[in-house]
Chains A and B, each alone.
Chain A
Amino acid sequence: MQNNINKSDKVNTPYEIARNCRHYAMCKIDFLGSGVCESGLKKHFVSFYPQGRMILYEAISENRVPVTEKCVEIADSCNLCGKCDYQCYFLNEMRPTKVMEALKNHVDTFIKNGGKVKLANDDRLLTEIKKIVGENWASNDEAITITYSHDLSPISEPKIPDCVVMPYTKTEISSLVKLFNKNKITYTIRGNGQNLLGFAVNEGVIIDLNRMKTIEFDEKNWCVKIGPGVAAFDLQKQAQKRGYRINASEPAALVCANIMCSGIMSTFSTTYGINADNFIDAEFVDKDGSLFSLNDPSSPNLYSYKNLEHKNSPGICVSASIKLHPVIDDERGILVPFQALSKAIDFIRDCSIRHIGLALGVVGAEYISTFLSPTKKSASEIKDIFIDKLDIPYLVVVIGDKYAIRSIDEMGYPYFDQRLFSVLYLGLQSLKSAEWMGLIKELSDDEPYSYLRIKSFPDLLETALSPSPVLYSKEIDPDLRPFFEKLFSSQEMTDLVWLSMYRIMSTRLGRKKPFLPVLIYLPIDNILINELNDKFRLIADKYHVDNDFGFITPIDNGKRCIFEYDYFFDYNDPEEIRRIRLAGTEANILVDKYSIKTGTVKGHQYVLYQGFCRKENLLYS
């Protein structure tokens, strides 16, 4: 397993920062309570979010885009509020406001020096489009279109569309589809699942569904109907306010797109399920521009599943009714440590078969240390502590009610409870220099992690680590510290339940480098999983690709699980891209071989556009 620090560790210049934008769209959601970029919320085009400005600045620096009317507007509409610094620093340790400043300076200097701003030039098609969606919601300005040339897939080839349109209603979408069909215009949907796997960049027209953010609760029927522009984080927030929970994928992922792409999955999939388990109905605009809803008996059967790599999209998902789940007062999170992956697998299988716990997931030391640490440097030190001093290469995150936790007590597993987790998290800086760590290992000699059974261990750990938001933020850039000190004073940021239901724990995983997940569905079979884990690692090592175990979540009462292995790479390095492609391809071939050999292993790539299927069809057919 490799752990090289990325070349982009020293990402400091505006250009370098811009080039290293991960395009995860996390700047579109208020996951830190700092607020979201105001211009983005108002204008909706990605171009007006920090992410778009990063892409625009990179293109401008490389002279790929002139200063246009929209470019001036994009630069002007940034008020340098600094919110994106908090967000991006939390995730990737980058400071995007440097980019925003540079963009503004560039435009100002250009204008001061008498530069000629390129004006918009609506062609016939754009005029027609604007008739459907309104003047403000379509553009062929290069400063807009360039920001749709990237998406979150690190290996998709950037392509600049001719124009971008942002419809507000399904009727507008239907009209747009008909218009494009009539004029033989190719179009790609942003927010319909393609972007999750990196297929939402194309020439032609981009239809961005980001304006369609309606959320309508139907509490009597335990569901919420949402538009395709609603992100998982925002929906979860609304659900939580009403005392419910949804099964949420990555926080910035658009929920409809997520279902469309490959289905929602999270550690809560242990109880809430995957694919068709997560919704009640959905509406689509088909390729002719007609509307259909999933529950209509005459509609295409999207509940079926076929093991095909290149399935066509069934249409544009324009709304979905998502299931609501009850929340129990006494839910809490714990982390159960394991010395070996096989033991962790045994544990989650046992729990899921016995229906113990609401959410279960095996994570590795890389995952947990990356999340806990405020910086990349810390993360690698903490990972070493977890592995060498604490002897914890694997942990199982369990979210459960008091009965579930009691069962785990009875099963005899020592664990880090919520209090210990908070102490460890906010006392992380002291942990690095704690000499007494050697004793912990000694104490585990007879029974691993038996120190966790010592009643007053949390108290002693608290004394030893002196955890506090101030201590935690010590390593953070001084000007950002007050914000982070406040952030970590809030209970949410250290609450395992909150962190799991909003999927915040995995958001820092791409901090060292962006990553390509290799995802598979397979039985919870220790030998099989360990074999694949080793083989994924060997493939990555062969191509000198940084790699690590991702996670395992049991599904369908412990009969199957989702297993992710991660390949990390620098997408600004063509050589690394070449190697990751080779490694990715070889990993997929390996999965195919295992599919044939076992008849039970399914590669995630085959689920594309089949996220609405019944899990039974996916897992057992």
Chain B
Amino acid sequence: MPLQNKPTTTLTGATGFLGSHLMASLLSEGYEIIVLGRSNKEETLKERIFKLLRWFGIEELAIQLELIEIDFLKPSLGLQESEYRELCAKTKQIIHCASDTSFSERKRENVLISNVGSLKGILDLAIDSKTDFFHYISTAYVAGKSVTVCKEYLSSSNDFVNVYEESKAQAENIIAQFCEKNSIPFTIIRPSIVYGDSRTGRSLKFNALYFPIQSVKYIREIYVNDIIKNGGKKSKQFGIFLDDEGYLFLPLRIYLPNKGALNIIPVDYFTNATMKIISKGSSGGIYHLTNNSSARLDIIAVYNEKFMKLKGVEIIYGAPADNLLRNPAEELFDRFMEPYRFYLSDNRVFDRTNTDIVTDNLHPPEFTYEIFKNCMEYAISVNWGQSIF
């Protein structure tokens, strides 16, 4: 499929974690990018994007960027007719990365509107601009929870872990049908859970992998503080103590339904692989950006014990007894972990046939202690994202 060498790329979701990394990579490779996005309550779209460019250290590449405030839910993306026509004329390929990544059932309506309801606007743009290619950033988890091998096919599952997966599966089907019907070349790129840069630990988002670690850190601090400042009155009640080497013994039994692992990839792998797919992918191609060596929670727990000077974490497989008495830390951690429980004991295998071909067998690194340490040190240095900019 002939493509211009560096086609002008219209990108959505550039203020998000994955979208911003794609924007940085595309800019670094010399692409002209049109960012479609919105201001939020605190900042304009321009402020949001420039903040990110500074974070990536590529402010000088801003000249390759054009920013357009749009509304996905309005006709012509809420643009004046002339503006819309101009956008169509310039757009040579589209990367649709914008997404609501909430797992929350309470936010079902919003998630479905953002991830499915808003597709019409961007697909209309694909037709109106006669785009050469439409790339959709999805998730590896569209296959549903009962599948054992996730193929690089469209999903027909009805059995999802959360509304996010469900919305992404619906979106993929809509996009594929639409693009096929209108002869628009497209790809679907499906990353698993993405963490920070494997080389530097830098990240812009601190959920999934980070969140349980962050919660353990805070729980640890609460009890260390109790021991140091209050003589450990509360800690003693639950058998929590500081040993001579400064390790906190914190009984923390983590229950998982079964053995399994967290499929995680670093963001640098995500961008490298995606860039290859964007330039070499074939129409209709679905690509799993997943890790063949998933990270087991017991391994992550060991990393974490070492990193945080902690002892007492125990992974138990199977359901806890109904009358199990949990200490406050266990109860709280359990609650924190709830949205991720399924992913932590995941046994699904991801087919990577298409990906391996297009990316020349580019694979994400194994999640080593070194990577874990870099990532967590960075997370702590930016207060888990609160003081990132």
Contact = CB atoms under 8 A, between A and B. Distances in A.
B335 A445 contact: no
A435 B328 contact: no
A463 B218 contact: no
A464 B220 CA distance: 10
A275 B219 CA distance: 52
A455 B229 CA distance: 25
B222 A454 contact: no
Contacts of A460: 219, 222, 328-329, 331-332
B220 to A, nearest CB: 10
Interface string B294-334: 00000000000000000000000000000000111101100
Given A447-B106, A463-B226, A466-B229, A456 B221 contact: no
B336 A443 contact: yes
If over half of B's interface residues share one DSSP class (helix, strand or loop), that class is named, otherwise mixed; here it is helix
Interface range, A side: 20 to 34
B214 to A, nearest CB: 7
Contact of B335 (A451, A462, A463): A451
Interface string A423-448: 00000000000011011001101110
A446 B339 contact: yes
Given A439-B215, A442-B211, A454-B335, A463 B235 contact: yes
B156 interface: no
A442 B329 CA distance: 16
B383 interface: yes
Contacts of B226: 463, 466
B102 A456 contact: no
B141 interface: no
B234 interface: yes
B80 interface: no
A185 B221 CA distance: 72
Interface in A449-494: 450-451, 454-457, 459-460, 462-464, 466
Interface range, B side: 20 to 34
A439 B206 CA distance: 12
Interface string B208-247: 0001001100110111011001100011000000000000
B222 A464 contact: yes
A459 B219 CA distance: 12
A247 to B, nearest CB: 39
B331 A436 contact: no
B148 interface: no
Interface in B111-146: none
Interface in A314-329: none
B328 A459 contact: yes
Nearest to B226: A463
Given A445-B102, A446-B105, A438 B230 contact: no
Contacts of A446: 103-106, 338-339
Contact of A463 (B104, B105, B328, B383): B328
Contacts, number: 67
B223 A463 contact: yes
A207 B221 CA distance: 62
A449 to B, nearest CB: 12
Nearest to B104: A446
Contacts of A450: 335
Contacts of A442: 211, 336
B218 to A, nearest CB: 4
Contact of A466 (B211, B230, B328): B230
Nearest to A436: B218
Interface string A238-249: 000000000000
Contacts of B223: 463
Contacts of A463: 222-223, 226, 234-235, 328
Contacts of A438: 384, 386
A445 B222 contact: no
Nearest to A453: B335
Interface string A360-374: 000000000000000
A439 B225 CA distance: 18
Contacts of B326: 456
Interface string B88-106: 0000000000000011111
Contacts of B235: 463
B230 A439 contact: no
Interface string A126-143: 000000000000000000
A456 B230 CA distance: 19
Contacts of B383: 435
Contacts of B107: 445
B331 A454 contact: yes
Nearest to A459: B328
Given A457-B328, A463-B234, A436 B336 contact: no
Interface in B339-360: 339
A389 B230 CA distance: 26
A459 to B, nearest CB: 5
- Residue from B214, B335, B383, B384 with most neighbouring chain A CB atoms (10 Å): B335
A451 B338 CA distance: 12
B328 to A, nearest CB: 4
- A-B pairs with lowest CB-CB distance, top 5: A456-B328, A436-B218, A460-B328, A463-B234, A464-B222
9 contacts: A435-B218, A439-B218, A454-B335, A455-B331, A457-B328, A460-B329, A460-B332, A464-B225, A466-B229
Given A456-B327, A456-B332, A463-B328, 12 more contacts: A435-B218, A436-B218, A442-B211, A443-B335, A445-B102, A445-B103, A446-B104, A446-B338, A454-B328, A460-B222, A460-B329, A466-B226
